[in-house]
Amino acid sequence: MNASSTRDFLVGLFVLAGLLALAYLSFSIGGLQYKGTGGLTVFATFDQIAGLKPKAPVEIAGVKVGQVTAIRLDDTYRARVDLNLDKDLRLPVDSSAAIVTAGILGDRYIQLSPGAEGSFLQPGEQIAYTESALVMERLIGKFLVNVGDKPTQQDGETPKEIP
């Protein structure tokens, strides 16, 4: 009986340790959260999202306040990005959203700049002001075109219009 109860104790200890390890993996490392009634869901449309992915963070002043939940094409061929923000976040209606890059080639995330209006965005509403992602290749392309144009101007010909 004594041997059996020691054994049961060890089994209990094993199960407890295993469950603790699972909980650590799920909650602390996996970031599983007990979701109450969801957060503030709003959306924004962009001309170009250039590699923004679902689950990308949404930040205000560098502080993470939510994440991208879904990205799809809307009827006007713009990218519609759904954001899930912290439930108690109050965002003025004239806030703007920009897609920015961490470092030069890093991951893209969304940066929100709060506006100054007194009324706040309600769940399901749209962030009207957006700034699309900068596409590095396109910038380099424009730069090269501009550099290529310069010598022709110096030769005294009529300056070309730079698009």
Partner 1 sequence: MAVLLRRLGHFVGNVIEGLGYIAAFAGHIVAVTVRPPLRWREFLDELFKVGVLSILIICVSGLAVGMVLGLQGYNTLVRFGAENSLGAVVGLSLIREMGPVLTALLTTGRAGSSVTAEIGTMKATEQLDGLRMMAVDPIDYVIRPKAWAMAVAMPLLSALFIVMGIGGGYVVGVGLMGIDSGTFLSSLENAVDFHDDVAGSILKSVIFGTLVGLISTYRGYTATPTSVGVSAATTSTVVLASVSVLIFDYFITALWGV
Tokens of 124: 């399901």
Which residues form the interface with partner 1 (CB under 8 A)?
7-8, 10-11, 13-15, 17-19, 21-22, 24-26, 28-32, 55
Closer to partner 1 by Cβ: residue 96 or 101: 101
Which amino acid belongs to residue 40?
Answer: L
State the nearest-atom distance from the C-beta of 95 to partner 1, in Å. Answer: 25
Closer to partner 1 by Cβ: residue 34 or 77: 34
Structural contact between residues 138 and 163, judged by C-beta atoms closer than 8 angstroms: no
State the nearest-atom distance from the C-beta of 65 to partner 1, in Å. Answer: 16
State the nearest-atom distance from the C-beta of 30 to partner 1, in Å. Answer: 3
Closer to partner 1 by Cβ: residue 28 or 158: 28
Tokens 């010598």 appear where? 151
CA distance 117 to 91: 9
Pairing of strands 79-85, 40-46: antiparallel
